[in-house]
Amino acid sequence: MAETVLVTGGSGFIAGWCIVELVKRGYVVRTTVRSLAREAAVRATLAPQVDTHQNLSFFAADLTSDTGWDEAVAGCDYVLHVASPLGTGQEPRDRNALVAPARDGALRLLRAATKAGVKRVVLTSSVAAASPILDSGDSLTDETLWTDLADKNLNAYRVSKTMAEQAAWAFMAEQKSATTLATVLPSAVLGPVLSAEGLGSVQIVQRQLNGKMPGTPRIGFSVVDVRDVADLHIRAMTSPAAAGQRFIAAGDYMWMADIARTLRETLGARAAKAPKRGLPDFVLRLMSIFDRDLKLVTPTLGHRHAFNATKAQTMLGWTPRPATTAVLDCAESLIALKAV
């Protein structure tokens, strides 16, 4: 008999690909959306990848409310808790607007899952929860590091991901339930998009294609393909060794200039608006005086903060695609959806 998996936040980028992979692998899949009015739209975005009329059902549940979570997890073997407030690049005036739903939503899900006797919960965290001090020198970080919440340069998204994961581990440490927890910490997630909504880190590629970047600042990322992130979630879900473990999901490091060059050289005229020159650090710092959102990235200028995914590769046999594949497939999907 096929096992049942709940994927929270079914309208999201990572959650969508988790659903696709689970359906392809024969699982019975449930997913949550904040309102069932979203069901038709989510099914439509998934339809090009899988048959959404078999083994996929929807439940209404919101991170800010207790309603619906018990019903969604009842009878499930596993849960992939992907739903979380998305960092849009714009810092909210009230930091708690991201922190509270991320932390409290994770706890709501874990309470329901442990009560229902779910075998394992895999929580989607972020390398934002395993980052060094942002204005420090170059680094290569693994899962043993926790973000220092005293870092003055942290934005609300980094704080929310750190506090949510910490709260999840603290909750599980107090439980006598047979339910186990694993966490997946993706870096900059690119790859093909299923819809033009909630793009998150995909905006790195989108803004280069649509000409909204006058130049490339000295900022870089460990890039990972969304399909590989979904695969790692499923590996962390099923491997006995993954219980109680954190796993970084990261691939090759690329500077913004590398991404722009890859787009121009491969896509030609379709990437004509991708920036061809660098943006000097002092220009970005000057701009940040008038744009508070730019202040969030200035501490990392010129610093190569990369992430090490050796643990996922050796313990779970996970192999990520090349970063250039993630960039180009992301761009092709954005162009196909007319999102640039």
pLDDT, residue 103, reads 96
Sheet (strand 180-186) strand order: 56-60, 28-33, 4-7, 78-81, 120-124, 180-186, 246-249
Cα gap 232→24, rounded to integer Å: 15
Domains belonging to the chain, first-starting first, are 4-336 (3.40.50.720)
Q: Which of 24, 119, 152, 161 is catalytic?
A: 161
Cα gap 171→192, rounded to integer Å: 35
- DSSP structure string for 212-270: --SSB-S-EEEEEEHHHHHHHHHHHHH-GGGTT-EEEE---EEEHHHHHHHHHHHHGGG
Residues ≥6 apart with Cβ < 8 Å to 129: 146, 147, 158, 161, 162, 164, 165, 166, 185
Strand 220-225 versus strand 246-249 pairing type: unpaired
Cα gap 241→41, rounded to integer Å: 37
161 is catalytic: yes
246 in Cβ contact with 210 (< 8 Å): no
For the chain, which residues score pLDDT lower than 50? 88-89
Cα gap 10→255, rounded to integer Å: 31
pLDDT, residue 163, reads 97
Q: What digits encode the pLDDT tens for the residues 239-293?
A: 999 999 999 999 999 999 999 999 999 999 999 999 999 989 888 888 777 766 6
pLDDT, residue 88, reads 47
∠ CA 200-128-224, nearest 5°, is 55
3-class DSSP state for residue 105? Answer: helix
pLDDT, residue 92, reads 54
3-class DSSP state for residue 289? Answer: helix
Cα gap 178→129, rounded to integer Å: 26
Which amino acid type is present at position 74?
A: A
